[in-house]
Amino acid sequence: MPKNKNAQIAWIEAGNAANPALVFLHAMAGSATAWAPQMDIFSDSYRCVAWDMPGFGGSDDAPEGADMDWTVETLRKFITDTLGLQSAHFIGLSVGGMILQHFAATHPDLVDSAAILDSSPKFGYGGDVDPIAFADSILADLNSGTSPAKFSDGMIRAIVSPDCPEEIKVEAITSMSRARANGLALTTRLIADHDAVDKLANITCPTLAMAGAQDAETPPAYAYAIAQMIPGASATIIPNAGHIVNLENHAPVTARLRFFLDHGL
Give dist(CA 13, CA 20) in Å, integer: 13
Instruction: Provide φ and ψ at 223, rounded to 5°.
Output: -65, -40
pLDDT, tens digit (0-9, with 9 covering 90-100), for 154-182: 999 999 999 999 999 999 999 999 999 99
Number of Cβ within a 10 Å radius of residue 260 = 21
Number of Cβ within a 10 Å radius of residue 127 = 8
Task: Report DSSP state, residue 241.
Answer: -
Asked if pLDDT for residue 47 goes beyond 90, the answer is yes
Task: Report DSSP state, residue 20.
Answer: P
- Element (DSSP H or E) covering residue 36: helix 36-42
pLDDT value, residue 6: 52
pLDDT, tens digit (0-9, with 9 covering 90-100), for 114-124: 999 999 999 99
pLDDT, tens digit (0-9, with 9 covering 90-100), for 177-236: 999 999 999 999 999 999 999 999 999 999 999 999 999 999 999 999 999 999 999 999
> What average pLDDT is seen over the chain?
95
Domains with residue ranges and CATH for the chain? 11-263 (3.40.50.1820)
Read off the pTM: 0.95
Task: Report DSSP state, residue 235.
Answer: E
- Element (DSSP H or E) covering residue 49: strand 47-51
Q: 134 with 229: CB under 8 angstroms? A: no
Give dist(CA 203, CA 105) in Å, integer: 5
pLDDT value, residue 3: 41
pLDDT value, residue 143: 87
pLDDT value, residue 5: 46
pLDDT value, residue 1: 38
